[in-house]
Amino acid sequence: MAKLGFVGLGIMGRPMMKNLLKAGHTVVAYTRTAAVLDGCVADGAERGASNQDVGARADVIFTMLPDGPEVEAVVLGPGGILEGAKPGTAIVDMSSINPLVSQKIGKACTARGVDFLDAPVSGGEPKAIDGSLAIMVGGSQAAFARVEPLLKCMGASVTLTGPVGAGNTTKLANQIMVACNIAAMGEALTLATRCGLDPEVVVNAVKGGLAGSAVLNAKGPMLIARNFKPGFRIRLHQKDLRNALQTAEATHVALPLTAAVQQMISALMAGGKGDLDHSAIATVVEELSHVEVKR
């Protein structure tokens, strides 16, 4: 078994790390939050002293962080993973960040003889817990072959999508589709509720047809039950759509639906709802219509 490192142990990172432990791997864990790190040690991980320490002690290091600036700081910054990493080490960033940042980090790693892959995930906390995430990977074929068995400890679907940066480009496409689906679901169920229908009956009626989706199956019941406990926070989806819109601007692509949903998310953020689950995107239409989707 390879000796692994894991930096970034939040809602997603910690259960992902635990699945590596369950598969029999040794994991050196590090996060700045002492109580979280204590919990990871109780889970069976070795205690890392710093990002650099994890880089020095592990053969493959995984990072799961909020956005590009954090990944740059953890990997490239003073006392970062790359300062400790030996040539031949692999760094796998599973954060969802701007593809251009992934490429910048990848170039710096290559200069030090370190493999870098961007491998963002989809599926939220439930799939992080049960190890069934969809993982979209950017990197060389050789580096992917090396880490694929490890990624399969955390994901049911692991796909090499292209060179470094391709994983995050694929994730941006995923996040556009998820956000627009949630917004459309909110419009549909708000209309149905206004017309006197039971939204749960409507969901059950349409989910077996073309309108059915994993988004509807996962987020429809949460909306109807008024359960917005975060599996994936609105503020993180705002960050992903911001990265998508910035990438679109740089590549001269029009994303009118994404821009509209980003405005909906901005309204929720302004209302202090950034830490709700992203299923709450649907509540913007409810508020505009003075309708609450529930049984």
As a whole number of angstroms, the distance between CA 7 and CA 13 comes to 8
Angle at Cα 151 formed by Cα 147 and Cα 153, nearest 5°? 125
- Decide if 277 contacts 230 (C-beta within 8 A): yes
Chain-centroid distance, C-alpha 224:
24
Q: For residue 127, what are the contacts with CB-CB under 8 A and spacing of at least 6?
A: 121, 133, 134, 156
- Evaluated on CA atoms 99, 102, 107, 110, the torsion sign reads negative
As a whole number of angstroms, the distance between CA 67 and CA 239 comes to 8
Whole-Å CA distances, 236 to 30, 100, 167, 266, 279: 22, 18, 17, 12, 12
- Decide if 28 contacts 48 (C-beta within 8 A): yes
Which one of 18, 22, 86, 171 is the catalytic residue? 171
Hey, which bits of 32-111 come out as E strands? 46-47, 60-63, 90-93
171 included as an active-site residue: yes
One-letter amino acid of 78? P
The catalytic residues are 171
